[in-house]
């Protein structure tokens, strides 16, 4: 599969980056607030354009202007990493304001830190009136950083279509066009892709080494070290098991030696996001000797949001008693309830224990990811399920069908879909999983009016 290009939204605080991100993605994924500096971390999502597919990354505001000065250095480091590793930059400035010192600082960051061939689209946000852009265009050109200048009002969906066309034009020039045959399902790709993700130094490379045959291990063993960040970049390893091939994507730790303490987690997370977007199955490796971290939860959430099959692999279980392992599993189920459908496998990559359970789990997840339930069986399930739920709005449903396979997506036609509550869908999902085998796979519902 071709590499997924990365598009980074960069700008000072409160220039509408998150609003633009949400408009391009099509849903509210980033926090939107009039308070400068609200976006604390990068938020990322895969966007399916007409001609290209790309990873869109929203960054926190840089250049000054945030009300939280304690976090300013950290978020600047993250934004600089996005600049260094992206393929296209959307540089946001507010069309309502004169250019500020912070805007010029961001332009200078882009000149110093982005790769030379990476295009910059200067996006004048909050541009509800075209005359506003005309008044600002001279100053914007004098920044000397933009390949194109586009006025947008993401809140009112003005200028966004033009921006998307220019974005796709640049990505196609860099040979990131979406191939006609490109598909996201494991069956169409032939060889399933499994992204091995997790924090640095949890045993990702050790796990891949342990899954290899002895002969392959001598030829292509992964570098293993107690130093976090040993794996320099994402790389693919094809492993054959019982006559079937699997592609494992070992995600990165760190590319540059500078700023190891601040860069390592952010760069690893960015590369993990890219790997997840190109995988069929996400294997999140957790170190049982450590607490579940925010990054662990973030990677699991991203896998769910991207519709990928998910398995949680607890590494170093040889260091725990049976009772301690049970307590760890209970902790994971409690703190990561949004992926309670994901199977948990305990292994010791170093001592090669528990590995025999992984390939059968991978095979089962691939089947579940592509499972299609006949419409007749869905109707029978739905009629039975809603009778046990005191929600008349669901009883009024007249038709249910599976709209998509990857991930399994079910359309329910209702008289008043806006009245359906989250707990109703939680109940339906639990009921559906009890009847049909969707272990390890996220389920989505589409509610449609009749």
Query: What is the rounded CA–CA span in Å between residue 149 and residue 144?
Result: 11
Query: What is the rounded CA–CA span in Å between residue 381 and residue 387?
Result: 10
Q: Which CATH class is domain 375-449?
A: alpha beta
Looking at the domain 186-369, which fold is it? Rossmann fold (3.40.50)
Q: What are phi and psi of 189, to 5 degrees?
A: -80, -20
pTM strictly above 0.85: no
Query: What is the rounded CA–CA span in Å between residue 431 and residue 423?
Result: 12
* CA dihedral for 404, 409, 410, 411, sign (positive or negative): negative
In the chain, what are the domain boundaries? 6-173, 186-369, 375-449
Using an 8 Å Cβ cutoff, are 369 and 309 in contact?
A: yes
Query: What is the rounded CA–CA span in Å between residue 272 and residue 48?
Result: 19
Q: Do domains 6-173 and 186-369 have the same CATH topology?
A: yes
Using an 8 Å Cβ cutoff, are 212 and 221 in contact?
A: yes
HEC readout, the chain: CCCCCEEEEEECCCCCHHHHHHHHHCCCCCCCCCCCCCCCCCEEEEEECCCEEEEEEECCCCCCCCCCHHHHHHHHHHHHHHHHHCCEEEEEEECCCCCCHHHHHHHHHHHHHCCCCCCEEEEEECCCCHHHHHHHHHHHHHCCCCCEEEECEHHHCECHHHHHHHHHHHHHHCCCECCCCCCCCHHHHCCCEEEEECCCCCCHHHHHHHHCCHHHHHHHCCCCCCCCCCCCCCEEEEEEECCEEEEEEECCCCCCCCCHHHHHHHHHHHHHHHHHHCCCEEEEEEECCCCCCHHHHHHHHHHHHCCCEEEEEEECHHHCCHHHHHHHHHHHHHHCHHHCCCCEEECECCCCECHHHHHHHHHHHHHHHCCCCCHHHHHHHHHHHHHCCCCHHHHCCCEEEEEECCCCEEEEEECCHHHCCHHHHHHHHHHHHHHCCCCCCCCEEEEEEC
Query: What is the rounded CA–CA span in Å between residue 197 and residue 284?
Result: 5
Superfamily of domain 6-173: P-loop containing nucleotide triphosphate hydrolases (3.40.50.300)
What is the predicted pLDDT for the residue at 36?
44
Query: What is the rounded CA–CA span in Å between residue 285 and residue 337?
Result: 17
CA distances, 420 to each of 46, 410, 448 (Å): 27, 15, 11
User: Dihedral (C-alpha) 226, 227, 233, 237: value to the nearest 10 degrees?
Assistant: -10
What is the predicted pLDDT for the residue at 218?
60
HEC readout, 3-52: CCCEEEEEECCCCCHHHHHHHHHCCCCCCCCCCCCCCCCCEEEEEECCCE
Query: What is the rounded CA–CA span in Å between residue 251 and residue 241?
Result: 21
Q: Average pLDDT by consecutive 10-residue portion of the chain (450 residues)?
A: 80 90 71 40 72 86 64 71 89 92 93 91 90 86 91 91 95 79 47 88 87 70 43 65 86 42 53 82 94 88 90 94 93 93 94 93 93 93 80 71 89 85 88 92 87
Pick the closest to residue 207 from 311, 339, 296 (CA basis): 311
What is the predicted pLDDT for the residue at 76?
79
* CA dihedral for 254, 255, 258, 259, sign (positive or negative): negative
């Amino acid at each position: 599969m071709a590499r997924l290009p990365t598009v980074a939204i960069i700008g000072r605080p409160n220039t509408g980056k998150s609003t633009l991100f949400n408009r391009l993605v099509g849903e509210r994924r980033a926090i939107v607030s009039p308070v400068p500096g609200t976006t604390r971390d990068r938020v990322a999502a895969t966007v399916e354009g007409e001609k290209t597919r790309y990873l869109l990354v929203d960054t926190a505001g840089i250049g000054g202007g945030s009300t939280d000065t304690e976090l300013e250095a950290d978020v600047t480091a993250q934004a600089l990493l996005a600049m260094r590793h992206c393929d296209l930059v959307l540089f946001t400035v507010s069309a309502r304001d004169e250019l500020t010192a912070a805007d010029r600082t961001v332009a200078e960051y882009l000149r110093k830190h982005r790769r030379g061939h990476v295009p910059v689209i200067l996006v004048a946000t909050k541009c509800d009136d075209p005359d506003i852009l005309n008044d600002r265009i001279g100053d914007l050109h004098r920044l000397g950083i933009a390949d194109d200048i586009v006025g947008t009002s993401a809140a009112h969906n003005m200028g966004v279509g033009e921006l998307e066309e220019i974005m796709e034009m640049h990505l196609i020039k860099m040979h990131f066009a979406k191939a006609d045959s490109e598909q996201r399902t494991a069956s169409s790709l032939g060889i399933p892709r499994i992204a091995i993700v997790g924090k640095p130094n949890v045993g990702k490379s050790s796990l891949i080494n342990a899954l290899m045959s002895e002969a392959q291990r001598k030829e292509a063993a992964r570098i293993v070290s107690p130093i976090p960040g040993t794996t320099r970049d994402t790389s693919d390893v094809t492993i054959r098991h019982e006559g079937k091939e699997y592609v494992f994507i070992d995600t990165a730790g760190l590319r540059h030696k500078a700023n190891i303490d601040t860069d390592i987690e952010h760069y690893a997370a960015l590369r993990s996001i890219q790997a997840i977007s190109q995988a069929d199955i996400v294997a999140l490796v957790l170190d049982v000797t450590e607490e579940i971290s925010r990054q662990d939860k973030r990677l699991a959430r991203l896998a769910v949001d991207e519709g990928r099959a998910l398995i949680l692999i607890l590494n170093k279980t040889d260091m725990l008693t049976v009772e301690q392992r049970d307590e760890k599993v209970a902790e994971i189920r409690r703190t990561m309830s949004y992926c309670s459908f994901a199977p948990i496998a305990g292994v010791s990559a170093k001592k090669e224990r528990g590995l025999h359970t992984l390939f059968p789990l991978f095979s089962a997840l691939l089947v579940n990811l592509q499972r299609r339930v006949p419409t007749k069986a869905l109707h029978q399930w739905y009629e039975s399920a809603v009778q046990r739920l005191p929600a008349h709005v669901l009883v009024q449903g007249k038709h249910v069908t599976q709209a998509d396979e990857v991930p399994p997506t079910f359309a329910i036609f209702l008289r008043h879909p806006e009245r359906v509550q989250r707990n109703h869908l939680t109940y339906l999902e639990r009921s559906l999983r009890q009847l049909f085998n969707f272990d390890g796979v996220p389920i989505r519902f589409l509610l449609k009016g009749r």
